[in-house]
Chains A and B, each alone.
Chain A
Amino acid sequence: MAAARTDATSVSSLDTVENLTDIDSIKAAFDKYCDEEVTINADLEKLIENQGRLENKMGNMHKVIPNIQILETDSKNLSNMVAFTSTLAENVSSKVRQLDLAKSRVTSCITRVEDILDLKFCTDGVQTALQNEDYEKAASHVHRFRNLDENVLRMSLTSGESDTLDNSFKLLHEAENKLKSIVNSKFDSAVHSGDSASVERFFKIFPLLGLYDEGLTKFGKYLSSQLSDSADKSMRLAEAMGSEDKRANVMYADLATQLFEHIAKVVEVRQPIIETYYGAGRLFTLLKILQVECDRQSRKILQQFKTKRNFDHVVQQVQQSTMFQKQPASEKYEPKGLDILLSEVVLLNTRAELYLRFIKRRSTNDIEAGFQNDVDIVKEKLTDVDTFLDNCDLKRLMQELIGSYILMEEYFMREMVLKAVSMDSLDTGQPTSSMVDDSFFIVKKCARRSLSSGSVDGVCAMLNHACTVLEQDFREVLHSRIRVGFPSDQYLHVAYNMVQSSLQQGKLQSSDTEKQKTQFLTTLNNAEASCEYCQSLKTMLEAEVSKSFHQSSEHTKAKLESCLSDLGAAANRFKDVLEFGFTQLQSNAVKPRVKPLADGYLSTSHNITEEDFSNFEANDPWVQNCIVQLDTMLAAFKISLTSGNYDKFVSLITSEITSQMEKAVLKTAFNRLGGLQFDKELRALVGYLSTVTTWTIRDKFARLTQMATILNLEKVTEILDYWGPNSGPLTWRLTPTEVRHVLGLRVDFRSDEIKKLKL
């Protein structure tokens, strides 16, 4: 390639050489060719150097050539040998295959012969066994015969033998049918005569004859009749029981429990037999039959329960009382009477839930064991189980019962809470009145009772109702009492004359406003306690719910959680009532009382002489009196309020004092000594208030303290020692404008100096 290019250029350059005319170009061309010559010479020398080496290699190759010929012949020989061996191997293996085929034919032939022998043996055996009434043996012969493939056996026979075989088959089919009818009738007569051993004996024979469903159905019916008998007996016994018996109140729940326990025991005892003789996966067939009887007996028990407990009538009365809530209490159904009835209803449902869960668990386990390899079948069968149990009579009856239960429990809860409210009383020394404890006790009792029923929907409904009763009924009571308001001092003056005149007429008692005050403060405490109780009720129920329903589906849990969270919302509604109460208290009690204190401050001069200052040392003009007043007021509230509410009250008062004091300070004129006086007063006030509350109140006084600092300056520019980069740990709560304003309060500070300050 490179050479070709050189050629090409040389040809073209030769052409151009011919055409060259001036000496410079010719010289340049000449130089170029000289250079090329040198390179070409170098290349040629390199090639010549290689010549020796190449000749050596060629010599070596010549020597190898004869060996290659030998190699070729050897390879051909080897190939022939391999081909020969392969043919040989193939021949051998085909013979082995033939042998193997022959062997398997022999084996199946032997099996057939054995089958035929078996068949003959069975034929003879069945006859004798039937004659000897050895049904198990007969059945096992039939079972053996049923496992033989009749068609194959018939095919493999020569015509000569077919007669005897036909005969055998005929006999065996006859025997099978005979055995079926014998087992059927024997089973029936055993049931009839109550011979449980024989019942069990024949029950085990059914599966050998392929009669799985028949066997389980018949056995199920037998067990059902036993159930029925014992249930009837229990019912008679229970009804003979005296009303003073301690279980009399839960008699029907006990009866249901006995029924369920009986069935559970039957399942417990019979399941192994069924698994052994019928195989896994068939238990549900029996359970379905037993459930029919369970439904029948449950209906009977509930019927009796309703009749004896006058259930429907009570439900109706409760319904009516709920409808016409305004009717006088005397005409309403007495809620207390429901207590015992409700407990029995709950117990009935608990037992039923427990029983149904047991049945479901057993069915599920059995199906999973029986159809391990087929996920689809398991799924399908489990859906069947769920549908069956969800729609069984017992379930429906219980749903109806729970429906009535919710109605009555709600009535009970609401009426009892109303009663607690109407019987509200305040024990001296107690911050809250009786209705809070009582109402929450009732709500808790009802919620927990519903929880013990095990019915998810029942629990949810009662949680909803509990929220309604607390958030609506009970909260409304508190709210209306708060709305009345704390008797204000201004109002007192007006009321005083009225009270005086009423007293003369004997209508009012002098302590009426005191009562009103106490009621207001108690209600405030009640609201606080209610908020707290509501939270702890929620926490407690949450714990119990998660304990009782931890196995439930996510869907169920979400439902319960949603209803529980409403209870948390109810707590916040109580908080709102509390807040409302405090705004009432602020406008009616706090403001009017703090106002005169601030006024007192205003009327004290802070532009004072040295003499005044030292005089004030001995005869305090304002703050001591202020503290005494505050102390009297706080002491009065401290007795009546819970510690939480009292702290809140102190905080409220503190805020009021600071805001009113701020206003007052900004209206006061100070000199240096007046500033000092104010600082002393403020320290005394903060010191006092710190002792009455656990809260830190210094923060609330931050602005006032900073004002005092400013008012204590020697000269205007000194503020810069505390301001901006010099503020250190101090965070200023006053704006620059406010600082200037406060500085302006000092009569001895010049306003142009204040204006010049760079803040």
Chain B
Amino acid sequence: MEDYKYLFKVVLIGEAGVGKTCLVRRFTQGLFPPGQGATIGLQIWDTAGQERFRSITQSYYRSANSLILVYDVCCQASFDSLPTWIQEIETYASTKFCGYLVGNKTDKINDKEIPTHIGQQFADRYEMDFIETSAKEADNVDKLFYTIAKKLSKEAKQGELTSDDTTKFNTDNTTSISNCSGCLKF
């Protein structure tokens, strides 16, 4: 952890079964091999969606630099629950945070229930960035985390007024908040 110039905490939230764990796994297995001279660290906290873990996950909101709210494009219920999550974020997160809305499971084209423009609309209303991903096909997963890391480091630099230097991304160090990985598999 000490090797990073910046270390950002990113917390993934959303209903159980929307594929949060798969997103993290896809990302950490994927593109950015650890151990390169890294200046940016993304510490990704994967949370459990179940109600009974809610008070645990809430405690992580405040220290998060970014929150990723995930829903399943094939599951209307997971989209309908978004306002509740937003309310929760507003209650517990610090005022300044960078939010991302993610519609996951775009690989199941035939089962898609929430059209892209509806997701985009929702994100716009709450001033969040929006992206659709497929953890299964690794679509847009790296883009999502890459964009977040870039945005956060840009903000941090502006805050510090330091000169621009090359940034590399290191993304191991993933820690999951809850051990109930079983319930996230579909």
CB-CB contacts of B51-81 with A at 8 A, as 1s and 0s? Answer: 1111110111011000000000000000000
Query: B158 an interface residue at 8 Å Cβ cutoff?
Result: no
Indicate if the CB atoms of B62 and A461 lie closer than 8 Å.
Answer: no
Candidate in B1, B58, B91 with the most chain A CB atoms within 10 angstroms: B58
B179 at the interface (CB under 8 A from A): yes
Report the minimum CB–CB distance from A404 to chain B (whole Å): 7
Cross-chain contact A403 with B63 (CB below 8 angstroms)? no
Q: Does B156 contact A (CB under 8 A)?
A: no
The verdict on A390 contacting chain B, using a C-beta distance below 8 Å, is yes
Tell me the chain A residues, 367-426 only, with Cβ under 8 Å from chain B: 387, 390-391, 396, 399-400, 402-404, 406-407, 410
Whether B182 pairs with A396 at a CB distance below 8 angstroms is no
Partner of B182, one of A391, A406, A565: A391
| Contact A464 to B63, CB < 8 A, known contacts A396-B52, A403-B53, A458-B56 | yes
List residues of chain A with CB within 8 A of the CB of B60: 461, 464
- Say whether A468 contacts B52, CB under 8 Å: no
Q: Report whether B56 and A461 are in contact in the complex, using a CB–CB cutoff of 8 Å.
A: yes
> Nearest chain B CB to A386's CB is how many angstroms away?
10
Pick the most buried of A410, A458, A562: most chain B CB atoms within 10 A of its CB. Answer: A562
Chain A residue numbers with a CB within 8 Å of B177 are: 457, 460, 559
CB pair A399 B182 closer than 8 Å: no
Whether the Cβ atoms of B55 and A461 lie closer than 8 Å is yes
Question: How far in angstroms is the closest Cβ of chain B from A321?
Answer: 13
For the complex, is B180 an interface residue (Cβ under 8 Å from A)? yes
Question: Which residues of B come within 8 Å of A, CB atoms?
Answer: 1, 43, 51-56, 58-60, 62-63, 91, 173, 175-180, 182
Contacts of A467 in B (CB 8 A): 62-63
Chain B residues with Cβ below 8 Å from A593 are none
A410 CB to nearest B CB, Å: 7
Contact B43 A562 (CB under 8 A): yes
The contact sample of 20 A-B pairs, CB cut-off 8 A, is: A396-B52, A400-B52, A402-B56, A403-B51, A403-B52, A403-B55, A406-B59, A410-B59, A457-B53, A457-B56, A460-B56, A460-B59, A460-B177, A461-B58, A461-B59, A464-B62, A464-B63, A468-B62, A562-B1, A565-B1
CB distance from B8 to the nearest CB of A (A): 13
A465 contacts partner chain B, Cβ-Cβ < 8 Å: yes
Task: Report the minimal beta-carbon distance from A599 to chain B, rounded to whole angstroms.
Answer: 37
The yes or no answer to A532 lying at the interface (CB within 8 A) is: no
Complex Cα–Cα for A391 and B50 (A): 13
Measured CA separation A387–B185 after assembly (Å): 14
What residues make up the interface of A, taking CB atoms closer than 8 Å to B?
A: 323, 387, 390-391, 396, 399-400, 402-404, 406-407, 410, 457-458, 460-462, 464-465, 467-468, 472, 555, 558-559, 562, 565-566
Chain B's nearest CB lies how many Å from the CB of A549? 14
A404-B55, A461-B58 given; name 15 further pairs at CB < 8 Å: A387-B182, A399-B52, A400-B52, A403-B51, A403-B55, A403-B56, A406-B59, A407-B55, A410-B59, A458-B56, A462-B59, A464-B60, A472-B62, A558-B173, A565-B1
How far is it, in angstroms, between the C-alpha of A465 and the C-alpha of B58 when the chains are bound? 9
Among A400, A464, A555, which residue has its beta carbon within 8 angstroms of that of B59? A464
Known contacts: A387-B182, A390-B180, A464-B62. The answer to whether A558 contacts B175 by CB under 8 A is: yes
The residue on B at minimum CB distance from A458 is B56
Q: For B43, what are the chain A residues with a Cβ–Cβ distance below 8 Å?
A: 562
Q: Which residues of B contact A402 (CB under 8 A)?
A: 56
For residue A402, which residue of chain B has the nearest CB?
B56
Distance A559 CA – B175 CA, assembled complex (angstroms)? 6
Q: How far is the CB of B98 from chain A (nearest CB, A)?
A: 19
A98 and B95 alpha carbons, distance in the complex (Å): 94
Contact B52 A406 (CB under 8 A): no
Residues of A within 8 A of B53 (CB): 399, 403, 457
Q: Is the CB of B175 within 8 A of A562?
A: yes
Q: How far is the CA of A630 from the CA of B107 in the complex (A)?
A: 76
- Residues of chain A with a CB closer than 8 A to B56's CB: 402-403, 406, 457-458, 460-461
B184 to chain A, nearest CB (A): 13
Q: Within 8 Å CB of B51, what residues of A?
A: 403
- With a cutoff of 8 Å between Cβ atoms, the chain A residues found around residue B175 in the complex are 555, 558-559, 562
Chain A residues near B58 (CB-CB < 8 A):
461
Residues in A with CB closer than 8 Å to B173 are 558
A565 to B175, CA, bound (A): 14
| A562 CB contacts on chain B under 8 angstroms | 1, 43, 175
Shortest distance between the CB of A486 and any CB in chain B (Å): 29
Note all chain B residues with C-beta closer than 8 A to A472: 62
Select from chain B the residue with minimum beta-carbon distance to A400. Answer: B52
Q: Complex: how many Å from CA A467 to CA B60?
A: 11
Q: Across chains A and B, which 8 residue pairs bring their CB atoms closest together, nearest first? A: A464-B59, A461-B59, A406-B55, A400-B52, A461-B56, A403-B55, A407-B55, A457-B56
Contacts of B52 in A (CB 8 A): 396, 399-400, 403
Q: Which residues of A contact B180 (CB under 8 A)?
A: 390
Distance to closest chain A CB from B77 (angstroms):
21
Residue ID in chain B nearest A456 by CB atoms: B179
The smallest beta-carbon distance between A211 and chain B, in angstroms, is 33
